[in-house]
Amino acid sequence: MTSQSSAQVNTLAESLAQSKRVCVLTGAGVSKESGVPTFRDKDGLWNKFRPEELANVEAFIRNPKLVWEWYCWRRELMAGVEPNPGHYALAELETLFDDFALVTQNVDNMHQNAGSKNVIELHGNILRNKCHDCGYIFSEEESKQIVDFAEGELPRCPKCKDGLLRPDIVWFGEMLPEDAIDFAWKKAMEADIFISIGTSAVVYPAAMLPQQAKSAGAFLVEINPKRTELSPLADIVIEEPSGVALPEVTRQFKIILGK
């Protein structure tokens, strides 16, 4: 870590010590060090597959097998990876606050795997399925029981018997789950400190959360090895990978707390 980053980590730890309410927003960047590719980096998925062919409802109606194949590949990829030190540091940080919300755009379940409790998923979860017709959402456990796409059959809904199942992911052009975005909004508006981590901050409405938090008075921090559209608005920008910066933030914060 550069000496500038170390100084900023200290500033962040001190700000945390003065904060009661913390809101964190994460994006694909936090999972990159675990081996999950992001969408917009040079080696991201979007360079190999055109998202418009895969991640929208029209594509699913046109060619559900292609879309399922892609998601099966992504599920397999995600099943083989583990949380990294950044995920664990966030889970530990949560235990040091009474009011800590972790809003994520990721669908990979990695924050939960690392032990985070109060996770608000804005874009769904790749481990769950939902029915394209009746809308029923199957839990991770239920989804494991019903999908057997490996045998080439498209999975059908056990509730309404006929609907095609799809991953419980928010696709391009779809609305975010109302409860999740409302709760995230509330947490952003109430936050004393808002930390945006590993997101290119261009996908709305998630990208509005840091802006809203800042205009409601929060101290705004960004952690990302590359500057983003959000960077000019942030009070501090820590230009480091989250797996490097976050463990240091938690360590410094615990020193301040005397833990």
Strand order in the sheet with 124-131: 137-138, 124-131, 165-169
Closer to ligand NAD by Cβ: residue 80 or 217 = 80
Is residue 32 within 8 A of residue 38, CB to CB? The reply is yes
CB of 146 or CB of 216, closer to Zn ion: 146
Catalytic residues: 123
159 contributes a contact to Zn ion by CB under 5 A = yes
Q: Which CB atom, from 157 or from 249, has the smaller least distance to ligand NAD?
A: 249
* Residue 15: count of CB within 10 angstroms of its CB: 19
Residue from 195, 203, 254, 252 nearest 222 by CA: 195
Q: What is the 3-state secondary structure (H, E, C) of 48-103?
A: CCCHHHHCCHHHHHHCHHHHHHHHHHHHHHHHCCCCCHHHHHHHHHHHCCCEEEEE
CB of 203 to Zn ion, least distance (A): 28
Applying CB under 5 A, the span of 18-26, 46-54, 157-165, 221-229 interacting with Zn ion comes to 157-165
Tokens of 259: 């833990």
CB of 31 to ligand NAD, least distance (A): 4
* Residue 230 binding partner per list ligand NAD, Zn ion, none, with a CB distance cut-off of 5 to 8 Å that depends on partner kind: none
Q: Map tokens 């109060």 to a residue.
A: 118
Shortest CB 106 distance to ligand NAD, Å: 3
Q: Is 163 in the site for Zn ion (CB under 5 A)?
A: yes
**Residues 121-140: x/- map of binding to Zn ion (CB under 5 A)?**
----------x-xx------
What distance in Å separates the CA atoms of residue 258 and residue 38, rounded to the nearest whole number? 37
Nearer of residues 109 and 157 to ligand NAD, judged by Cβ:
109
193 closest CA partner among 9, 1, 22: 22
Does 198 interact with Zn ion (rule: CB under 5 A)? no
Q: Where does this chain bind ligand NAD (CB under 6 A)?
A: 27-33, 36, 38-41, 44, 105-108, 123, 198-200, 203, 224-226, 228, 241-243
Closer residue to Zn ion in complex, CB, 163/243: 163
Say which entry of ligand NAD, Zn ion, none residue 156 contacts (CB below 5 to 8 A, set by partner kind): none
Q: Which stretch binds Zn ion (CB under 5 A): 1-9, 113-121, 153-161, 229-237?
A: 153-161
Ramachandran sector of residue 152 (left: φ over 0; alpha: ψ -120 to 50; beta: rest): left
